[in-house]
Amino acid sequence: MEKEKLYSAIDEKYHKMGENPETYLKGLLQAKPINYWDYIQVDTLLTLQKTRTDFKDESIFVMYHQVTELVLKMMIHEISQLVFEDLNETVWIEKLNRLNRYTSMLITSFDVMRSGMSYDDYNVFRYTLTPASGFQSAQFRYLEIYCTRISNLINEEGKKRLPENPSVEELFEHIYWKDAGTNRQTGKKSLTLRQFEEKYQNDFIALAKKIAGNTLEEKAKKIKNPSPAFIEKLKEFDDMYNVKWPLVHLGTAQHYLDSKGETKAATGGSEWKKYLHPKFQQRKFFPELWTEKDLAVWGNEK
């Protein structure tokens, strides 16, 4: 009886697709069993660590950043569903819990960078990475664009430079992270920033236009009668991603670039001490959820 139900369900599935189920069954008869290493593409994955020096810990550095990119991809996977689908509060809370767990992984993963690499080795091999920089992580920028209006990604100094009724393109010229590679007095941009813009800027602008009015921030406002638990999860994500994670990143940079008071330059040439601090970035995904007092002390933990 169970087999009959199964065959009937298979028949129904493929007929709805306008396909002949017998063709698929014949194909299944010839298919090889799946295994873990093929499904996960382990052999390929483990060949993606291409180092530029003979320092052993450089491979740790590469793998750490590859793991970070995969975590960011998981987060974007969750956020895009919230942005493009109409989901109820229960599903939102479930996905916000996932986002907060992923962000916690990003925060704690900096222990790999801080304690899992040789200080001296890193400060030699890192020069071969110039002008590459983690600043050039496109997924980090995509996530920000999905999460909030571009105006929330412009700090107070950037807002002073904006014209009236700025276009999306004009907003992007003053987005906080471009300060890391732009001399605001001369307008000159670093090679790190110029390369990044050339590869990704059009895609960033296209995404911002596509989701205008439907960012995570704006979709959250459409939840009717939001519960205190829902609001708290949004604030937790905002604080973890935009305050706690940048502060841990800053602490790791200080460990490798300034632990001996040497104030070494970042490989991308940014003023990292200022740029990495949330008080400078002033990035907030849900600014309307915070009190004026909260906003006044944003990032003051360090």
Stretch 151-174: mean pLDDT, rounded? 96
Query: Residue 8 has which token pair?
Result: 């009937």
- For residue 260, what pLDDT band results from cuts at 50, 70 and 90? low
Stretch 273-284: mean pLDDT, rounded? 87
- For residue 271, what pLDDT band results from cuts at 50, 70 and 90? low
DSSP annotation of 182: B
The residue to which tokens 């360090």 are assigned: 302
Q: Is the pLDDT of residue 302 over 60?
A: no
Over residues 109-148, the pLDDT tens digits come to 988 888 888 888 988 999 999 998 888 999 999 999 999 9
Q: Report pLDDT for 269.
A: 58
What average pLDDT does the chain have? 92
Question: Cβ distance 278 to 242 under 8 Å?
Answer: yes
Query: Residue 170 has which token pair?
Result: 């004009």
Report the distance separating Cα 83 and Cα 100, nearest Å: 17
Angle at which helices 138-147 and 57-84 pack, to 10 degrees? 20
HSE at residue 124, side-chain half, CA atoms within 13 A, is 11
- For residue 47, what pLDDT band results from cuts at 50, 70 and 90? very high
Q: Is the pLDDT of residue 261 over 70?
A: no
Q: Report pLDDT for 51.
A: 96
Over residues 170-225, the pLDDT tens digits come to 999 999 999 989 998 999 999 999 999 999 999 999 999 999 999 999 999 999 99
Stretch 15-24: mean pLDDT, rounded? 94
69 contact partners, CB below 8 Å, separation of at least 6: 137, 139
Q: Is the pLDDT of residue 87 over 70?
A: yes
Q: Is the pLDDT of residue 265 over 70?
A: no
Cα-based angle 108, 112, 115 (whole degrees, multiple of 5): 110
Stretch 76-91: mean pLDDT, rounded? 97
CA dihedral 53, 54, 58, 60 (to 10 degrees): 150
Question: Cβ distance 161 to 174 under 8 Å?
Answer: yes
Report the distance separating Cα 98 and Cα 113, nearest Å: 23
Cα-based angle 54, 140, 153 (whole degrees, multiple of 5): 135
- For residue 83, what pLDDT band results from cuts at 50, 70 and 90? very high
Cα-based angle 90, 94, 100 (whole degrees, multiple of 5): 140
- For residue 300, what pLDDT band results from cuts at 50, 70 and 90? confident
Q: Report pLDDT for 239.
A: 97
Q: Is the pLDDT of residue 252 over 90?
A: no
Residue that wins the pLDDT comparison between 258 and 284? 284
Domains, the chain, ranges and CATH?
Answer: 55-296 (1.20.58)
Alpha helices, DSSP H only, in the chain?
2-16, 21-30, 36-39, 42-45, 57-84, 89-115, 119-125, 138-147, 156-161, 168-173, 191-210, 216-220, 228-239, 245-257, 272-275, 278-281, 292-296
State percent of the chain over pLDDT 70. Answer: 94
Angle at which helices 57-84 and 89-115 pack, to 10 degrees? 170
Stretch 247-269: mean pLDDT, rounded? 71
